[in-house]
Structure 1
């Protein structure tokens, strides 16, 4: 009955206000909003014009002047998304619609992650006691999806080793105790052979829908060797102790005693080939062992007191293992298999510690890569109930510019090499997630990086996709992230933000790199003495080498705002915790953060809003400056949540996850588009989750080239602004 429906809507809205919005001290009701990927063919916002279909039509993506380029030399930027586990294998009925949906939002590359998963659909054949054969049905689904993506102009990034759980028949010692078997690939010959075997099976496979093998497919832009895997990191994280006795221990696990013994033996053989008998005796004396005993490896507790020579020797051993693995796999893919795609080794991903030892090896691959998350959840198990839960800080990044994803990621870029970010996100349910995509997009363009892959579109098969957030990382169902992806595609792929005018070079000696392994956390994330975290917000920076230590770095003031050297980006911060990022270019402008308190007016954009925190992005759809554009995309986002989601008292975890549909806090207030030229008529069309108009256009007031739009009703996150001149 209508009356019952109205009462239910009011009641649920009140509950959402109490449960979801209490910390913000405002009375903006959360309202349902669903991104509908199956019903958006008539969307008024269709960004496929940014893509050059079919992908790879003119040949392979290559490297030119240190950046990704098309065969004709035109700059190629990646605006990508991850597909994880079961989502990599949609049915032939769903694959075309999924590919078209991605193209509509400007996505031009998919990173296939956890193809080798054991906890969901996998490329490995089931019903066997090994992982040495591929599942033909799953492979056929992958082939078809890759072909559909190619038709839309969407490239592929294939990850070779991410989540492989070995089985008895693989011939891998202690296979049940290895989890995802990180680390041992750097020194175990059987695991290395299995990595090559799998690469051969997948990359030489003939895709009947693209009519080429993956190694010769121009729509495959990138192949990644291993995911977030470093033996140096394992060393300083005490995961080389050999104390694990748990079966299926998870991702970040210690190795077993057998592998620890093998590693120690390998280390001692390496020492014999590296040191003279006199030097080896001196090392044994320092280690307190006799002439016929093995030199023990250091644990993290030994780092501080370890003599420099001993510490640096062991660091050199682990770094050499990484170098040799990447070089051998690169040679195998390029020379033996003839892979044409560009190769990534692995990502610089642990910003609580130095990444430079790993980068000495990965920077010798074709493309350098980084990962970062803003406040990744910490997972906990309640000792009383056994229930698995999580914790996040749940604070805005705009208040911590010098610990931001921008600053953390900027340490990894290397001069003369393309740089991509293949995983990043503001994990759900962070209440400030609307800041994540537009802020990183603007600064990635400023730093002249080559691509971003947001993590992750989905984990599940499309038949299981529902209108709520099922986990911390999914982007598909979230109105805030999806519409900011669209605005970001326009800003990034067109190069709206100018690259920095000044590049700060950084070089490191090998001795400095090794010593940095035992640097304290307080020196992060750059672990570079004298390098101010303000610098990456003013200029760009690149590593120029690992053979000599840089001199002094420029000193910059700490005044707010921190303004980029192009003048287009500004980061405002203050002790009262009301940060703001502004983006001001001819084609794209944005106010991100506590816009209500700052009241900043840009050349073509200002806002007077009721929301405590929001992101407002205006960008042209016709590549014209905003002042002369006839079609503009306005994305105005705040919080999103699941229906019925309930925070704990500290707002650091959820006592109730909630269910479908997702709800949004609509941005309410006045948006002013300023200094527009020659306006005859202007209208703002609120859009639903399929990109279609919601009712009638919003009336727009115009005075002397300024247009004022009242937004917030109907509830939405994006608008099409049409201007007749």
Structure 2
């Protein structure tokens, strides 16, 4: 096992003006299997059973003041002058701390409660992820779900009153079920890909948008198209012609697309005879190109190497270009329709999905989004593997999983995104998905790296209850735990400090570290870029694909995403790439990454990440072996094997001069009586996996591992510590030990929030 001397790291850090870690004790790396075993150890815990929040005026932790009095009070959200960021109607910059919520399906009173609950914890954006198409006995494809629209109207009204903006996601092909009288899809098994080219479906889709956006919302007196509280409209969710679901197109649906391909080729080359010549007579079995009867290569072929000058290479390039331009043209058409025919004033996001190969196809996908203002991509982290009978939506006994903290796996970090220059980028869905136990790290990491790289919105997925959720069935009756939940102690419970320091700009945005230019012809030829994102998991559509991350084919280490912003531009102009010297920030030998701003240090060998700014400081990870961690104004000594500690100013003053600090703590939360055991098994590829099996998924309430942390702060004017409950109400006051330069306290075992004054 290796040893790292933190004094040596500190000397190197000082040379870079990075975080001050000197004088930390040397410590040995624990094998990751040891880290995975943390939840099987017998640790002391405390019961998380919060009272219902009544929004008592005496609450000492209420971030509602960060929001506008009414969302959209200064006008519509629009783009900054450089196109990269969001600004309010008055031109002031705005950052979004966002959630996906299904509480819109509940009553108006529950929605009011929900909005206030979210605003109190730092949320200023929610996503309405619905399906506006009529569901039951819908005699015509053009009809919308009027109940869903009524619920959306209420959702808008209640969120707006609490200063919370909305993102609308009204169409999800994967979840849409056809009805016999629609006659769409014609022969395909589902709606995947159809919206991009089926003119009959597109016409119905336009009618849905009219019925959704034009009528007056009776709860506000304003139509949704004129509603400034709605910031973004997403055209569709998780669909692409460059993903594996392309194979779902069959029969007449596929023929419709192939006929459009034929016409596109004739327009490009002049005739089908010329196409045959360009393709060097390469054909697919069963087609006749000269007669205009074409077939498509399966999407797998677009992921494989091919000489671009060969006949097949030229044909694959044409197929890639056609599919990409088909999506681009649809996005452009609907944007124009929303602007000119409906009069919608919101920003538009074309899509948020991935492709069959992030190396070869992701840039083509992103290019198709540039027809609209906002780029999007859904990316989750799940700790590696979750395998079980119902693992796509539930957690049950017998499930197998790997419990790997992202702190050991920075290549899988969801915010590793290549941003399109002059476009804001959002992550409309994400989370650290259970049964992964290492969740307290996530709000902290999202906050600091969203700040560093300028990502404009991270939407946690998802909430179904107005307030907290205790461990409970995934669907209300199956003996199980819900999987896609965030209103839990170590996710939503760790929002306040993370949201505060992100939204207040306490963490610097870095200068761009990689600026890549990609010619469109390189996209069509699927040339490997200098840097790419890694593959991500999807529980519903990745079962037959290999999602192992492959960094070896990148010319630039993907850890550059954690140093600072990475940007790309698309055009046929010749422009040079610009890359800073990353060797000063990425130490592959010691597995240490430092941000270009010198405020963040990630040691992925030891599994810790530190933040060191004037107004916000903290650490997350496997801390016990480190000994003392010294930051600019803090000394942290943890006996917790894994924990997250954030200290953030609540009065916008530096920590060392602040008169009010928030201390926020996170460890590990599991249901009562949760039991797991270590096992090994073989996956579908025959690889041996080492992880855990769930023996008992437990029951309510949550139990949280006790805090065992000592904190010293260089601020002697602080006199008392007020221990808060989950609603921000003081439940106990403690005096602080102090001298002329600092205060110190042993943090109580059973508290998440402490106010120091």
TM-score category, normalised to shorter length = 0.7 to 0.9
Change (3 A) 1:298 1:23: same
Contact 2:240 2:353 in 1 (8 A): no
Secondary structure of residue in 2 paired with 1:661: strand
Contact 1:51 1:108 in 2 (8 A): yes
Aligned residue runs from structure 1 range 695-710, under 5 A: 696-710=732-746
Pairing 1:472–2:483 present: yes
- Alignment-derived partner of residue 120 in structure 1: none
Aligned residue runs from structure 1 range 261-660, under 5 A: 261-277=255-271, 278-282=273-277, 283=279, 285-287=281-283, 290=288, 291-292=290-291, 294-303=293-302, 304=304, 307-349=312-354, 353=358, 354-375=361-382, 378=386, 380-381=388-389, 391-407=400-416, 410-411=417-418, 413-458=419-464, 462=466, 466=470, 468=472, 470=474, 471-476=482-487, 478-516=488-526, 524=534, 529-547=554-572, 548=574, 550-551=576-577, 553-557=579-583, 558-559=586-587, 560=590, 561-574=592-605, 578-598=606-626, 599-650=628-679, 651-660=691-700
1:391-424 residue CA offsets vs partner (Å, 9 max, x unmatched):
54320111122332232xx21x122222222222
Unaligned regions of 5+ residues in structure 1, if any? Answer: 1-19, 117-122, 242-253
Contact 1:53 1:154 in 2 (8 A): no
Distance in 1 (alpha carbons) for counterparts of 2:143 and 2:295: 39
Change (3 A) 1:620 1:463: closer
- Alignment-derived partner of residue 82 in structure 1: 100
Change (3 A) 1:115 1:296: closer
2:715 is aligned, of 676, 700, 711, to 676
Deviation at 1:27, TM superposition (A): 4.0
Distance in 2 (alpha carbons) for counterparts of 1:505 and 1:427: 32
Deviation at 1:604, TM superposition (A): 1.8
1:91-120 residue CA offsets vs partner (Å, 9 max, x unmatched):
02212111110110011111111344xxxx
1:215 is aligned, of 210, 225, 237, to 225
Change (3 A) 1:562 1:707: same
Distance in 2 (alpha carbons) for counterparts of 1:523 and 1:635: 32
Change (3 A) 1:520 1:570: closer
Distance in 2 (alpha carbons) for counterparts of 1:519 and 1:299: 22
Cα root mean square deviation, aligned: 3.0
Secondary structure of residue in 2 paired with 1:600: strand
Change (3 A) 1:677 1:100: same
Contact 2:259 2:292 in 1 (8 A): no
Aligned length, in residue pairs = 661
1:41 is aligned, of 34, 56, 79, to 56
Secondary structure of residue in 2 paired with 1:544: strand
Distance in 1 (alpha carbons) for counterparts of 2:505 and 2:356: 27
Change (3 A) 1:269 1:136: closer
1:440-473 residue CA offsets vs partner (Å, 9 max, x unmatched):
2101111122222111123xx6599655584222
Distance in 2 (alpha carbons) for counterparts of 1:711 and 1:54: 38
Change (3 A) 1:543 1:387: closer
Contact 1:37 1:101 in 2 (8 A): no
TM-score, structure 2 as length reference: 0.81
Contact 2:386 2:435 in 1 (8 A): no
- Alignment-derived partner of residue 251 in structure 2: 257
Distance in 2 (alpha carbons) for counterparts of 1:579 and 1:665: 19
TM-score, structure 1 as length reference: 0.84
Deviation at 1:25, TM superposition (A): 6.7
**594-603 or 270-279, which deviates more:** 270-279
Distance in 1 (alpha carbons) for counterparts of 2:356 and 2:752: 33
- Alignment-derived partner of residue 180 in structure 2: 168
Change (3 A) 1:299 1:135: closer
Contact 2:528 2:554 in 1 (8 A): no
